């Protein structure tokens, strides 16, 4: 008898668990719209408050060049992550170690070698919201006086439309350095609107992008 009661209790708990998971899944599948990516923070404070500290080194560089105000007053900031900066520093260290196997490339060396435009090339006066960007490559001049092409590309893979028919676009930051193929960097996150829509629009670049690689 006790065994039957235990089995029944277990079955009820298991059913409750499955129903709970099902409800959560259904809520996800019937999501009524896009996530609201608006924040009351300004651009600098939003990046500084990131839960996983993905932008701490970037903010140190911004502080070094006294660009906090420029970041907060820009229309758009294509944001490189700390991983992008680490890729740049790793590349420079490999070059140094061709001559000195114990050489270490530090932030101080980066500051000595790169101008403020290494950050300003990611800043634009224009407010470049995803909905307003063209599907053809369009050139904009950054605050670092670099000509950058911006483009959104419609995704046609069915995986993006399993739960919604809303068109899915990827945003690209493109620089033609005279190479056979221009360098195209996809944004991993788009359309973070700071100061409740009145501040800088943030688009976060993929981690595979190498920081400052577009600097002349």
Q: Which domain CATH number covers 89? A: 2.30.180.10
User: How far separated are the first and last CA of the chain, in Å rounded?
Assistant: 81
pLDDT-wise least confident of 17-21, 49-53, 72-76, 108-112: 17-21
pLDDT score of 32: 28
In the chain, the number of structural domains is: 2
Q: Characterize 47-86 residue by residue with b for buried, 16 or more Cβ atoms within 10 angstroms of its Cβ, and e for exposed.
A: bbeeeeebbebbbebbeebebbebbbebbbbbbbbbbbbe
For residue 49, is it within any domain? yes
Residue 207 pLDDT more than 90? yes
Residue 92 and residue 17 share a domain: no
Residue 60 and residue 133 share a domain: yes
| Residue 2 pLDDT class (50, 70, 90 cuts) | very low
- Identify the domain containing residue 10 by its residue range: 1-30
pLDDT score of 215: 60
pLDDT score of 147: 93
For residue 215, is it within any domain? no
Query: What is d(CA 83, CA 85) in angstroms, rounded to the nearest whole number?
Result: 5
Residue 11 pLDDT more than 60? no
pTM: 0.82
């Amino acid at each position: 008898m006790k065994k039957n009661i235990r089995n029944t209790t277990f079955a009820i708990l298991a059913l409750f668990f499955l129903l709970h998971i099902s409800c959560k899944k259904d809520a996800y599948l019937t999501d009524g719209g896009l996530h609201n990516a608006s924040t009351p923070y300004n651009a600098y404070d939003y990046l500084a408050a990131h839960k996983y500290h993905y932008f701490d080194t970037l903010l140190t560089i911004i502080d070094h060049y006294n660009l906090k105000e420029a970041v907060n007053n820009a229309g758009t900031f294509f944001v490189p992550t700390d991983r992008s900066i680490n890729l740049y520093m790793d590349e420079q260290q490999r070059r140094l170690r061709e001559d000195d196997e114990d050489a270490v490339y530090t932030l101080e060396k980066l500051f000595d070698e790169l101008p403020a435009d290494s950050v300003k090339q990611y800043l634009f006066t224009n407010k470049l919201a995803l909905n307003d960007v063209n599907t053809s490559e369009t050139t904009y001049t950054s605050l670092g006086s670099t000509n950058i092409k911006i483009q959104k590309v419609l995704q046609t893979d069915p995986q993006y439309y399993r739960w919604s028919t809303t068109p899915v676009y990827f945003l690209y930051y493109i620089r033609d350095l005279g190479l056979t193929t221009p360098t195209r960097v996809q944004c991993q996150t788009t359309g973070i609107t700071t100061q409740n829509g009145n501040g800088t629009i943030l688009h976060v670049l993929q981690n595979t992008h190498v920081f400052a690689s577009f600097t002349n």
